[in-house]
Amino acid sequence: MAAQIIDGKALAQQIRERIAKDVVDLVAQKGVRPGLAAILVGDDPASHIYVRNKQKACDAAGIYVDENKLPASTTQAELLRLIEKVNADPKIHGILVQLPLPKHIDSKVILDSVSPLKDADGFHPYNFGRLVEGNPIFEACTPKGVIKMIESTGVTIEGKRAVVLGRSNIVGKPAALMLLHRHATVTICHSKTKDLPAVCREAEILVVAIGKAKFVTADMVREGAMVIDVGTNRTAEGKVVGDVDYEPVSRKAGWISPVPGGVGPMTIAMLLDNTLESAKRAAGLA
Ligand SMILES: NC(=O)C1=CN([C@@H]2O[C@H](COP(=O)(O)OP(=O)(O)OC[C@H]3O[C@@H](n4cnc5c(N)ncnc54)[C@H](OP(=O)(O)O)[C@@H]3O)[C@@H](O)[C@H]2O)C=CC1
Ligand SMILES: Nc1nc(=O)c2c([nH]1)NC[C@@H]1CN(c3ccc(C(=O)N[C@@H](CCC(=O)O)C(=O)O)cc3)C=[N+]21
């Protein structure tokens, strides 16, 4: 039996339409238009594409964007000054500092300088701590999108065996916490995990975020499992492929999310959602 496809692109589109309506209401009721400061340093082509996609999505939803494209030679001090400026700007409710940053800049120092009240990416230690507590304000966009995709299927998370492949602070770790708070029994795997295929085979929900093209093969997947592929890898021919070997795995899984058209579009929708929610809080609504 072929797996049912979790169409992240379509789900993201629905969410963006709902956000656009909410923006109209917020402007009408409170005179507040949500604003996002997007900060991009250097000339990584993939980052430029992502930021352009985020900009387009904000435009379509009526979210104001303050776009800051800075040269690769930007110093850490200059970047910190820009962040101080947008931290203080009342038109801005969300701040996105696109990663990766150039090597001469300490990402940790930069991310820590973003106001936790405008941290639309959910990367600030305050927001990460709130997530650990189970009382989050801003949740990281990619894992938040993963959860919405799982929930969109109607499959309950509570009581399920969930395995998260990858433990990064921006995807794997927060995804595992979000599943835990929804009462899954969660295992987190990483490069030192022993007999990874056997652990993956236990998963009723398998979230894959390691950054290795087609790493997860059918023998690592339990019959009927839900497989969410976060990986975004570019092949030599410039094609985007996930961390999951899609064709064979989709014949064994019960549910699968494609790449492209899965988690990527949801990540962008969640950035808009976080910015909107922040603007609502600033307007005294939430
Ligand atoms: N669609 C989207 O919106 C987004 C997609 N991504 C994509 O998701 C993927 C993961 O991103 P990110 O979390 O930032 O990646 P990182 O490189 O920060 O983390 C990768 C994780 O995978 C683990 N890992 C790597 N190789 C193996 C292996 N062979 N076996 C087991 N575990 C392994 C690492 O383990 P260890 O900790 O031991 O080193 C690490 O925990 C990438 O493809 C990225 O492009 C990321 C963000 C957003
Ligand atoms: N501060 C910060 N926040 C991020 O959220 C962030 C970041 N930095 N740095 C890089 C990663 C990566 N990321 C993606 C977003 C959308 C797609 C996406 O829309 N992908 C399309 C395909 C795009 C293509 O074809 O290139 C899809 O999967 O359908 C992918 C990856 C966000 N990230």
- Distance separating alpha carbons of residues 224 and 3, to the nearest angstrom: 8
47 alpha carbon to ligand 2 midpoint, in Å? Answer: 8
Topology match between the domains 32-115 and 141-264: yes
| Pocket test residue of 40, 208, 232 for ligand 2, highest count of atoms within 8 A of CB | 232
Write out the E strands in 166-238.
185-189, 205-208, 226-229, 233-234
Q: Are strands 240-241 and 233-234 parallel, antiparallel or unpaired?
A: antiparallel
CB contact at 8 A, 4 and 153: yes
Q: Residue 165: count other Cβ atoms within 10 Å of its Cβ.
A: 29
- CATH number for region 32-115: 3.40.50.10860
Ligand 2 in contact with 241 (CB < 6 A)? no
- pLDDT value of residue 263: 98
ipTM of the complex: 0.98
- pLDDT value of residue 286: 77
Annotated binding residue 182: no
Residues whose CB falls within 8 Å of the CB of residue 85, separated by 6 or more in sequence, listed in order: none
| Pocket test residue of 44, 50, 53 for ligand 2, highest count of atoms within 8 A of CB | 50
- pLDDT value of residue 1: 74
- Distance separating alpha carbons of residues 279 and 273, to the nearest angstrom: 10
Ligand 2 in contact with 264 (CB < 6 A)? yes
> Does the CA dihedral 129-131-132-133 come out positive or negative?
positive
- pLDDT value of residue 110: 98
CATH 1.10.3720.10, applies to 141-264: no
pLDDT along the chain (286 residues), means of 10: 95 98 98 98 93 96 98 98 98 97 97 98 97 96 98 98 98 98 98 98 98 98 98 94 98 98 98 98 92
59 alpha carbon to ligand 1 midpoint, in Å? Answer: 30
- pLDDT value of residue 18: 98
- pLDDT value of residue 82: 98
Q: Where are the domains of the chain?
A: 32-115, 141-264
- Distance separating alpha carbons of residues 98 and 173, to the nearest angstrom: 19
